[in-house]
Copies of this chain bind each other. A is one copy, B any other.
Amino acid sequence: MADSQRFAVAVHTLMILAAHKAGEAGHPMTSAEMAKSVNANPVVLRRVISSLAQAGLVATRPGAHGGVWLAKAPNDIAMDQVRGAVDEGPLVCARTKINSDCPVAVAALDVIDSVSKRVDGAVRDSLALLTLADLVKQLPDSLTQACAATPPASPTLAA
């Protein structure tokens, strides 16, 4: 239960917000704008944004001139929080349908469960060390500068 693209969409969205330095008192970005860059339906984006908002990573405001912005500094947004917000299932899932009359199967289930937990821990640990700020740093400098200086109706996002 993990082959969705929600995590990728979430990271993409957060990078856009960070690169454009979108803020409440400035120019929040709309889901429609960002949907163009992600090449997805605005509703899909809003579903992801909704999860991120519940996790306290972004804030939103409806109405004219409303939109989405980061609720925390990029340095304080770690990737494991993002994954936890949009994709809560375990990566490697155990079997639910074992034959409970078979003692080997019952014991194996526990063992496999421990493997699953181990993998999940490894994923979480590796993502916890990665912040949104780290990712934005990987963007070409020219790009982030262009975005930061962007007035509404930015040419850096449009198609």
Q: Would you list which residues of chain A between 126 and 159 have a CB under 8 Å from chain B?
A: 126-127, 130, 135, 138-140, 143, 147, 156-159
Known: A37-B102, A102-B37, A122-B123. A5 touches B93 (CB 8 A): yes
Give A1 to B140 CA distance when docked, in angstroms: 30
- CB pair A143 B107 closer than 8 Å: yes
Name 28 interchain pairs, CB-CB below 8 A, sorted by A: A1-B3, A3-B93, A7-B92, A8-B93, A8-B95, A11-B112, A12-B95, A12-B98, A15-B108, A15-B111, A37-B99, A38-B95, A38-B98, A38-B99, A39-B95, A40-B97, A79-B115, A83-B92, A91-B91, A101-B159, A102-B156, A103-B143, A104-B147, A107-B139, A119-B127, A122-B122, A122-B123, A122-B126
* A113, chain B: closest CB distance, angstroms: 9
Residue of B92, B114, B122 near A138 (CB, 8 A) is: B114
Residues of B within 8 A of A157 (CB): 102, 104
Copy tally for this chain in the complex stands at: 2
Q: Mark A1-32, 1 if CB is under 8 A from B, else 0.
A: 11101011101100110010000000000000
Is A94 positioned at the interface, with any CB of B under 8 Å from its CB?
yes
Dominant secondary structure of chain A at its interface with chain B: helix
Task: List the 7 closest pairs (A to B, CB-CB), nearest first.
Answer: A122-B126, A1-B3, A39-B99, A37-B102, A37-B105, A122-B122, A8-B95
Given A99-B36, A115-B130, A123-B122, CB of A12 within 8 Å of CB of B93:
no
User: Does A118 touch B at the CB level, under 8 Å?
Assistant: yes
